[in-house]
């Protein structure tokens, strides 16, 4: 008769490593699931479930698994699940399967598939006297010899699963979520025509108003308004001269890139000088702002565009002012309009 005792179990260091992995994976899973809830992204629940199964489920047997030698046989405690009892006479072979780091004990039985024991286990290239002693006791009880071999399942399957779970976290990191605590961002855009109504009445009185909303998709959305004065002074007609335009663009996270990163790229693209139009930085507006200015060849009107970014919103204001030597006035009006437009956006 064999006295009941816990004979085979992972070392303390391995169990502590499993605890660290489980806790870290649980934190990532909670954040990932929270991102899915806050962003109302149902498609993220699938990856979060896989992360839970792979990064949390796989280390748990290492943490709680053990093998007990009892009078009735070899009792394998597997978590989750009921203990499995194997009479020593049913064991035909003991096999040690190795992966990249760890090696596991498998019992081959007369009936049924090989049974993986979650205790003992060790880092195979590191000496572990407790593992050797426990394995020798198991071999003595079963009357079998342990044979080591490398396992394709542990060499290929386990790294692929782990890499897939890690890739999900890196591709859709919770800390890049628009809803990440402490990240200031906008979730919606104001109505552009009413936002600059006062400025437009003063700058382009009697102008025709055209508003446009454009939903580009999950990555961004645009809202714009245009005020066009179709008649110039002294009875002249200047279609498109005397014009104020406002365009908002709202950006969301894409993969590992934050909403602010996407907005920054768009800001750089919009404020890049074209031909002879130089871009001048403007201080005191948003996180960054630039001004582009030009004038007609005859000098009878000036056009100024001010592009500004704050967090995940880019604001583009263009102002065309009829009359000679109006560039300075147009620049002041466009800058004031951008400040008003940004102030109307609610950042959380």
Share of the chain above pLDDT 90, in %: 20
pLDDT digits (tens, 9 = 90+) for 224-277: 999 987 665 444 444 445 889 999 999 987 766 778 888 999 999 888 876 545
Range 24-52 average pLDDT: 75
Checking DSSP bridges between strand 146-150 and strand 91-98, what pairing results, if any? parallel
**Lowest pLDDT segment from 89-93, 143-147, 178-182:** 178-182
For residue 21, is pLDDT > 70?
yes
Contact 227, 182 (CB under 8 A): no
All domains of the chain, ordered by start, with CATH? 5-174 (2.30.29.30), 192-343 (3.40.1000)
Distance between CA atoms of residues 252 and 263, nearest Å: 8
Residue of 202, 143, 221 lying closest to 333 (CA atoms):
202
CB hemisphere CA count around 263 (13 angstroms): 28
Hey, which bits of 78-191 come out as E strands?
84-86, 91-98, 102-109, 115-123, 146-150
In percent, the amount of the chain with pLDDT more than 70 equals 81
Asked whether the CA dihedral 285, 286, 288, 292 is positive or negative, the reply is: negative
Alpha-helix residue ranges (DSSP H) falling in the chain: 12-38, 45-51, 59-64, 129-142, 152, 158-171, 192-195, 197-203, 259-270, 327-343
Torsion of CA 34, 38, 41, 42, to 10 degrees: 60
Half-sphere exposure of 50 toward its Cβ, with a 13 Å CA cutoff?
14
What's the CA gap between 135 and 63, in Å, rounded? Answer: 18
Average confidence score pLDDT of the chain: 81
Residue 220 tokens read as 């961004």
At 5 the pLDDT is: 61
Q: Any idea how long the chain is?
A: 348
Please determine, for residue 110, whether its predicted confidence score (pLDDT) is greater than 50.
Answer: yes
Residue 337 pLDDT exceeds 90: yes
Q: What's the pLDDT at 308? A: 95
Q: Give the residue among 195, 185, 176 at the shortest CA–CA distance from 347.
A: 185
The pLDDT, as a whole number, for residue 339 is 94
Read off the DSSP letter of residue 206: T
Could you tell me which of 314, 330, 223 has the C-alpha nearest to residue 268? 314
Can you give the pLDDT at residue 266?
92
3-state SS, residue 9: coil
Q: For position 299, what pLDDT does the model report?
A: 59
Cα–Cα distance measured from residue 251 to residue 263, given in angstroms and rounded to the nearest whole number = 6
**Whether residue 218 has pLDDT greater than 50:** no
pLDDT attached to residue 45: 73
333 in Cβ contact with 203 (< 8 Å): yes
- Between CA 234 and CA 32 the distance in angstroms is 64
What is the 3-state secondary structure of 241-263? CCEEEEEEEEECCECCECHHHHH
* Strand partners of residue 102: 123
CB atoms within 10 A of CB 202: 11
Strand partners, 294: 303
What per-residue confidence (pLDDT) applies to 341? 95
């Amino acid at each position: 008769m064999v006295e009941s005792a816990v004979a085979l179990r992972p070392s303390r260091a391995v169990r502590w490593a499993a605890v660290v992995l489980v806790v870290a994976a649980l934190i990532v899973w909670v954040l990932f699931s929270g991102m899915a809830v806050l962003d109302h992204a149902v498609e993220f629940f699938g990856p979060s479930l896989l992360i839970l199964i792979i990064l949390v489920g796989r280390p748990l047997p290492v943490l709680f698994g053990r093998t007990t030698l009892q009078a009735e046989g070899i009792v394998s405690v597997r978590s989750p699940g009921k203990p499995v009892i194997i009479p020593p006479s049913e064991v035909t072979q003991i096999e040690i399967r190795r992966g990249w780091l760890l090696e596991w004990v498998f019992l081959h039985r007369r009936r049924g598939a090989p049974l993986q024991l979650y205790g003992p286990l060790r880092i195979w290239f590191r000496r572990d006297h407790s593992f050797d002693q426990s394995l020798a006791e198991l071999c003595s009880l079963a009357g079998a010899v342990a044979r080591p071999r490398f396992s394709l399942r542990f060499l290929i399957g386990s790294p692929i699963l782990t890499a897939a779970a890690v890739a999900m976290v890196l591709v859709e990191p919770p800390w890049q979520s628009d809803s990440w605590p402490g990240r200031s961002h906008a979730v919606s855009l104001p109505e552009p025509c009413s936002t600059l109504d006062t400025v437009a009445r003063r700058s382009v009185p009697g102008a025709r108003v055209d508003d446009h909303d454009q939903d580009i998709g999950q990555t961004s959305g645009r809202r714009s308004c245009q005020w066009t004065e179709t008649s110039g002074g002294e009875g002249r007609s200047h279609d498109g001269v005397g014009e104020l335009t406002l365009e908002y663009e709202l950006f969301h996270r894409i993969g590992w890139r934050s909403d602010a990163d996407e907005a920054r790229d768009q800001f750089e693209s919009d404020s890049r000088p074209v031909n002879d139009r130089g871009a001048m930085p403007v201080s005191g507006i948003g996180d960054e702002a630039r001004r582009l200015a030009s004038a007609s060849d005859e000098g009878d009107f000036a056009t100024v565009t001010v592009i500004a970014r704050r967090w995940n919103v880019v604001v583009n204001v263009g102002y065309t002012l009829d009359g000679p030597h109006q560039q300075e006035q147009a620049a002041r009006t466009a800058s004031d309009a951008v400040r008003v437009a940004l102030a109307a956006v609610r950042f959380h």
